[in-house]
């Protein structure tokens, strides 16, 4: 047989031409393409999701309430926290976190990856701010301070009762209402007061937690030296036991201004003798209410005062006070303070720094 004779072309078998086989081949070809393309997309997403972001410095972003995944991603891209919102969306869906994103203000570090950004928002660890309320402020002064805070919201409809708030540094998030913070301060005060009252000395002539707050508010105003609080408290406790008037200058001031600020002038002799309900030069015992909001240390000082016999104290020129058991010694301390005043060319002792009988010798 001649080898040069052309052979007829081989035709696919009827089985290979079967529609199911053809469809199967197309399916597996498309599947292969999809796997390759999908793998590429997955690699791109994962690479972008774990790569440093575009932020050039630490920044904060507020995620509004009711924001969905797409809205959050758009906002983050707009703020320059992430480079591509779609990579963030894909990463969130891949981590099954789309329904776990929480509203609030968040801090993002420089070049935070989209993955880190997602974890931060899912965690709900929003930015916290310190709101510091110094000891001794009146309730009205505390409300004024809260009104000045740009991170708090809402208005205060009623000034809380004097002495009912605990001065402290409070952690708050942006958008916390002022009234909510005041309620928290009141709860903290009640808890602290109850603990201090339960641990009080049985020897103090204080009949109730309310009376403790009243005297603590006077102690708070009388000294800015923390270590002196138990001594100052002891002087007032000793005077109460001896039926002596407290004669505290800050009570004169409160009787005049009633918690609405500071006295913008020195205390006069007319002020000392003026019969207001709070003026402890003119009334016996404790005033009818606190003259401010005392801190824990002052309340603890009243509950457990120093074991001293002093019934007088006066400024000593160093920021502290000189204490005395007798009127004679106290008058000498007053004379020494007057000499310091003259040397400093002061007309009167600063309000609130001269202690009991610091201006007028006691009986």
Go through the domains of the chain in sequence order and give each one's CATH number.
59-123 (3.30.1490.480), 128-190 (no CATH), 202-343 (no CATH)
Please tell me the distance from the alpha carbon of residue 50 to that of residue 315, in angstroms, as a whole number: 64
Residue 117's nearest CA partner among 60, 43, 44, 78 is 60
At 345 the pLDDT is: 62
- From start to end of the chain, where are the E strands? 59-63, 104-108, 128-132, 169-173, 312-315, 321-324
At 361 the pLDDT is: 35
At 174 the pLDDT is: 93
32: which residues sit within 8 A by CB, 6+ positions away? none
At 348 the pLDDT is: 46
The segments of the chain whose pLDDT lies below 70 read 1-47, 345-363
pLDDT digits (tens, 9 = 90+) for 270-321: 999 989 999 999 999 999 999 999 999 999 999 999 999 999 999 888 889 9
The answer to whether 146 touches 181, Cβ cutoff 8 Å, is: yes
At 3 the pLDDT is: 54
Does the pTM of the predicted model rise above 0.85? no
At 341 the pLDDT is: 81
Please tell me the distance from the alpha carbon of residue 65 to that of residue 260, in angstroms, as a whole number: 38
């Amino acid at each position: 047989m001649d080898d040069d004779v052309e052979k007829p072309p081989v035709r696919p078998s009827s089985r290979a031409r079967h529609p199911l086989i053809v469809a199967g081949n197309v399916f597996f070809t498309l599947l292969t393409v999809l796997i390759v393309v999908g793998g590429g997309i997955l690699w791109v997403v994962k690479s972008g999701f774990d790569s440093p972001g575009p932020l050039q410095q630490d920044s904060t972003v507020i995620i509004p309430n009711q924001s969905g995944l797409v809205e959050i991603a758009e906002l983050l891209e707009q703020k320059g926290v992430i480079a591509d919102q779609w990579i963030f969306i894909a990463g969130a869906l891949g981590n099954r976190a789309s329904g776990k994103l929480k509203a609030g203000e968040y801090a993002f570090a420089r070049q935070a990856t989209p993955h880190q950004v997602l974890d931060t928002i899912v965690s709900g660890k929003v930015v916290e701010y310190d709101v510091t309320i110094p000891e001794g402020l009146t309730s009205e002064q505390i409300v004024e301070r809260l009104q000045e805070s740009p991170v708090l919201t809402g208005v205060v409809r009623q000034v809380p009762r004097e002495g009912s708030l605990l001065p402290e540094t409070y952690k708050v998030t942006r958008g916390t209402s002022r009234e909510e913070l005041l309620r928290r301060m009141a709860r903290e005060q009640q808890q602290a007061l109850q603990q201090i009252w339960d641990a009080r000395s049985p020897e103090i002539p204080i009949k109730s937690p309310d009376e403790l707050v009243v005297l603590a508010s006077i102690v708070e105003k009388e000294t800015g030296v923390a270590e002196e609080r138990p001594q100052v408290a002891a002087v007032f406790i000793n005077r109460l036991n001896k039926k002596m008037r407290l004669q505290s200058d800050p009570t004169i001031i409160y009787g005049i201004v009633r918690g609405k600020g500071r006295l913008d002038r020195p205390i006069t002799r007319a002020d000392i003798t003026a019969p207001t309900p709070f003026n402890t030069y003119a009334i016996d015992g404790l005033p009818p209410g606190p003259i401010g909001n005392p801190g824990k240390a002052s309340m603890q000082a009243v509950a457990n005062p120093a074991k001293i016999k002093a019934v007088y104290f006066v400024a000593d020129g160093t920021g502290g006070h000189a204490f005395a058991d007798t009127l004679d010694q106290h008058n000498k301390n007053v004379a020494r303070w007057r000499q310091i005043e003259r040397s400093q060319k002061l007309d009167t002792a600063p309000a609130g720094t001269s202690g009991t009988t610091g201006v007028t010798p006691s009986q």
